[in-house]
Amino acid sequence: MIYLNNAATTYPKPQNVLDACSAALRSVPESQFRSGQELTDGEDVFTVCKRNLGKIMGLSQTERIYLSSGATDSANRVLYGLLSDSNDCEKKIITTVTEHNSILRPLYNHQCWKKRLQLLPCDRFGYIDPGNLEKMLTINDRDGVGTEAVIINHCSNVTGMVQDLAAFAEAINDSGLRDRPVFIVDASQSAGCIPFSADDLKIDALIFTGHKSLFGVQGTGGYFVRNGLELRPMLYGGTGRNSAQIEYSAADDDYEYEVGTQNGPGIAALCAGTEYILSRGVNAIAEKEREQMRILYDALGSISNVKRYGCFEKNAGPVLSFVIDEMAPSDVAYILKTGYDVTVRTGLHCAPLIHDAIGSGERGTVRISISDMTQNAELEDFINIISEIAEAGRQI
C-alpha cells in the first residue's frame, strides 16, 4: 500500500509514537494537575509535551500552550475567546480565501463576525500578497473602524503554498495603526515540518493539530495564546487546579482553557511525536520533504494530460494538487485505491474558497501529501501508476 494522504493524518507513525501510546494505556492513568503518583523529574507528560512543542514552533511561553482535541477545537476556542461578539463592534476581521473550514465555518456562522469579515485573495498558486493586507489594514484604520484580528493559514492544505508570515507580521506591527489587530496563525499543516518561530513573528495566537506532521494520533492538538491576551473560556469544568473555585476569574490565574479529562494516551503519543521531530530536526525534515516534492512536481509535470496546481519554485509545502484531463478527481482516486492500493485525497479538502482562485472548480483536485516517513521508492511507484492511468485516459 502507498499512503499519500499525510495532510489529513500522517501514516505510518514513528515506532516510538506507537510504543508511547501503548505504554500509556497499560500504565496507571496520568492526568494533568491531578496525578497523585510519583513523576519522573517532577514533570508529567503534558508538561514535557508542551516544552517540546515550544521548541518545535519557537514558543518560549510554553505554559501558554493549551492542549485540545485538534485544530477545529482549537480554532473555535481561540476565535470565540478573542473576538468580540457584540453587535455594536465595527472592527473588521481579516482572513484569507485559503483557509480551512475550521476557520471559515466559525466566522461565517457567527452573524456578528460574518458581517465584519474581509477576505484576502490569493493567486493561482495560493499565494497571498502581504501588501494587500497592509492596504486593507490602512483603509480600515483610516475609516475609523479598525481591525480586530488577522487570521492567516501558514501552509495551504490544497496547494502547499507557504505564506510569508514575516511579511504579514511586519504589516501588522509596523503599519502605524492606532490599534494593533490580534495576529492569529493556523499552523495545522506546517507544525513539525516547516521551520518557524512564533516568538520572532510576534504571533498572538497559534492553532495546531497533533495528528499531521507532529506525528501524534487523531484527537490531539492545541493552541497558544500569548501572555497578557485574555481568552474568554468557551467551556467550563474540572481543571484540577483549584477545585474550590466555581466562578471563573482571569484575575485568579486559574484558566479554564483545559477542562475535563485530557486524552492521556493521545498526549503521550503526541509527546513521542515531538521527540521524534526534535531528534530528526525540523530543518532536516523540511529538506527531505522538499527534495521529494521536487521529484513529484518534475514527474507529474512531464505527463502531458496531468495539470498541477502549483509549481516547485513557488509552493514549498509537502502538498501537491493535480487533475488528469477528462477524468473526475474522484474517479482517479477510485482507480488508485481499487486498482493499485494507493491512498490519496480528492475534492475540495475542506477549503472551499481557494478553488475559484486556483481554477480547480467544483470537483476540486486529487491531492497527494507526504511526510518524513514517505519513501522515495513509494513515489517512484506512484509516478509510474499515474503515468499508466493518464495514458489510459488518453486512449479513451
pLDDT averaged per 10 residues in sequence order, the chain, 396 residues: 98 98 89 48 87 98 96 97 94 98 98 97 98 97 96 98 98 90 98 98 98 98 94 80 68 71 94 98 98 98 97 98 97 98 98 97 96 98 98 80
**380 phi/psi in degrees, rounded to 5:** -65, -45
Give the pLDDT confidence score for residue 327 in this predicted structure: 96
Q: Own/partner pairs for 101-104, CB < 8 Å, 24+ apart?
A: 101/350, 101/351, 101/352, 102/71, 102/72, 102/75, 102/76, 102/186, 102/188, 102/207, 102/350, 103/75, 103/79, 103/151, 103/153, 103/186, 104/352, 104/353
Question: Residue with C-alpha cell 503526541?
Answer: 270
The pairing of beta strand 306-308 with beta strand 319-324: antiparallel
Q: Where are the alpha helices (DSSP H) in 305-361?
A: 329-340, 354-358
With H, G, I as helix, E, B as strand and everything else as coil, classify residue 151.
strand
Give the pLDDT confidence score for residue 205 in this predicted structure: 98
CATH code 3.40.640.10 for 15-280: yes
Across the beta sheet with 92-96, what order do the strands follow?
65-68, 221-225, 205-209, 182-186, 147-153, 92-96, 117-120
Specify the fold of 2-9+282-395. Answer: Aspartate Aminotransferase, domain 1 (3.90.1150)
Give the pLDDT confidence score for residue 251 in this predicted structure: 63
Q: How many angstroms separate the CA atoms of 142 and 132, rounded?
A: 15
Domain with CATH 3.90.1150.10 in the chain: 2-9+282-395
**116 phi/psi in degrees, rounded to 5:** -105, 5
**DSSP β-bridge partners for residue 185:** 152, 206
Domain with CATH 3.40.640.10 in the chain: 15-280
